[in-house]
Amino acid sequence: MIDFKKEILAIKKQKNAVILAHYYQIPEIQDLADYVGDSLGLSQQAAETDADLIVFAGVHFMAETAKILNPAKKVVLPDLKAGCSLADSCQPNDFKAFLAKYTDYTVISYINCSAAIKCMSDIICTSGNALQIVNSLPADEKIIFAPDKNLGAYINKMSGRDMILWDGVCEVHNILKKEKIIELKITNPDAKLIAHPECDAAILELADFIGSTTALLAYTRKNEAKRFIVATETGILHQMKKESPDKEFIIVPADETCSCNDCAFMKMNTMEKLYLALKNEKPEITLPQDVIDQAKKPIIRMLDISKALGLI
Ligand code: 13P
Ligand code: SF4
C-alpha cells in the first residue's frame, strides 16, 4: 500500500512542484497543499509561483487559469473530467450569439468559465472581488455579467446597477433551499447564517454575511458568534474547524437524502490521482498560444484592479 502523503511530499520536493488547492478539496489534499484558497488567491499564487510544475487540486477552469497566467510552467490537474456546472452553462457559440445582441457593452465574466469565454470578456472577476470590479467602472457603463446569474443579481443589488445577466447557475449552490435554511434558523436562533453569493437570492436575503470562500472563512474566525449555518460546499468546513476548533458549523444540506452540496467535480480529485499526476506529470493542461494571449488580458485586468484596491 503506497503512503500517498509521504510519496507526494517527496516527489514534490524533487521536482520543485507546487500544489495549489481550493477549499472544496477533500481534507487530506488541503492538508498537504502548499496553498489553499479561493479562486482569487489561487490565481495570484499561480501567476507568481517560481515552481517548475503546478499541480492544481481544483477544477478545470482553475487549472486553465493557472496555465494562462503562467504559460511557461507545466500545469497538471489530477482528473481532467473535474469540470464545473457553471462553466458548462456558458458554451462559446451560445455566448458569441448572446454578445452579438448587445453592442457597446463591457463584458465581465466570473472566473468560473472556460478559456474560450475569457477570450470574449473584457474583465474577469471572482466572488472575492466582483463588487469592487463592477464598482471600478463608470456608473453609466453598460455591462454584461456572465455566467452566474445569482452572483450577477447580487452584484446588481449591491451596486444599484442593471447589468444584463447570462442565465447560468452552479448546480451545487443553486440546489440549496430557502425552506431548509429557515428551518435551521428557527432551530438554531443563536447561529449566524453565512452564504456564498452563488446561492439563490432568496437565501442571500436571509444571510448575516455573504462572501467568497476566503471571506466566509475569515468571518467565522473573527466573528464572536459560536455557531454558524454554512450555505456553500462542504469542503470549506475543514478549514473553518481547523481555524476555530471551539466553534460549531452546521452545513445546509441539499435535502435529507443526498449530499448534493458536495461538488462532484471538486471531489473527483483523490490522493491517488494527485500522486499519479505529480509522478507522471499528466494529465497536462495545454492551450493554443493565441488563446493564452487573449484570455490573459481580462484576467490581468482583474489582478491589476484587485492590487490597486488592496484586495490582494
Ligand atoms: P471562491 O472560492 O472563489 O469563492 O469560489 C467558489 C467556487 O465556486 C469555486 O468553484
Ligand atoms: Fe463549479 Fe459549483 Fe463546483 Fe464551484 S461548486 S466548481 S461553481 S459546480
The tens digit of pLDDT for each residue in 147-173 reads 999 999 999 999 999 999 999 999 999
The pLDDT-based confidence of 16 (bands split at 50, 70, 90) is: very high
Q: What gap in Å lies between CA 71 and CA 228, rounded to an integer?
A: 40
- What's the CA-to-centroid distance between 140 and ligand 2, angstroms? 31
| Cα(192)–Cα(198) distance, integer angstroms | 18
* Residue 137, helix vs strand vs coil: coil
Helix (H) or strand (E) holding 13: helix 4-15
Hey, whose CA ends up nearest to atom 2 of ligand 2?
170
Q: Is the CB of 43 under 6 A from ligand 1?
A: no
Place of cell 490521482: 273
pTM attached to this predicted model: 0.96
Confidence of residue 283 (pLDDT cuts 50, 70, 90): very high
How confident is the model over 36-52, as pLDDT tens digits? Answer: 999 999 999 999 999 99
Ligand 2 pocket check for 271: Cβ under 6 Å: no
Q: In this structure, what C-alpha cell is assigned to residue 35?
A: 496553498
Could you please report the per-residue DSSP string of 221-264?
HHSS-SEEEEES-GGGHHHHHHH-TTSEEEEPPS-SS--TTS-T
Note the pLDDT of residue 113: 98
59: Cβ below 6 Å to ligand 2? yes
Q: Which of 115, 127, 113, 121 is nearest to 41 (CA)?
A: 127
Per-residue model confidence (pLDDT) at position 260: 65
- Return the residue whose CA atom lies nearest to atom 3 of ligand 2: 263
pLDDT confidence of residue 1 = 87
User: Contact at 8 Å (CB) between 166 and 146?
Assistant: yes
List beta partners, residue 121. none
Predicted confidence at residue 257, as pLDDT, reads 60
- DSSP single-letter state for residue 167: -
Question: Position of cell 450555505?
Answer: 231
Predicted confidence at residue 285, as pLDDT, reads 98
The residue-averaged pLDDT of 231-245 equals 97
Domains along the chain with CATH numbers: 4-83+266-281 (3.40.50.10800), 86-170+294-308 (3.40.50.10800), 176-251 (3.40.50.10800)
Give yes or no for a contact between 260 and 175, defined as CB atoms under 8 angstroms apart: yes
Task: Please give the grid coordinates belonging to residue 3.
Answer: 503512503
Report the pLDDT value the prediction gives residue 228, as an integer from 0 to 100: 98
- Determine if ligand 2 sits within 6 Å of the CB of residue 170: yes
DSSP 8-state secondary structure symbol assigned to residue 105: -
The 10s digit of each residue's pLDDT in 88-123 is: 999 999 999 999 999 999 999 999 999 999 999 999
Q: Is the pLDDT of residue 258 over 80?
A: no
Q: How far apart are CA 166 and CA 91, in angstroms?
A: 11
**Ligand 2 in reach of 84 Cβ (< 6 A):** yes
Q: At residue 224, what is the residue type?
A: E
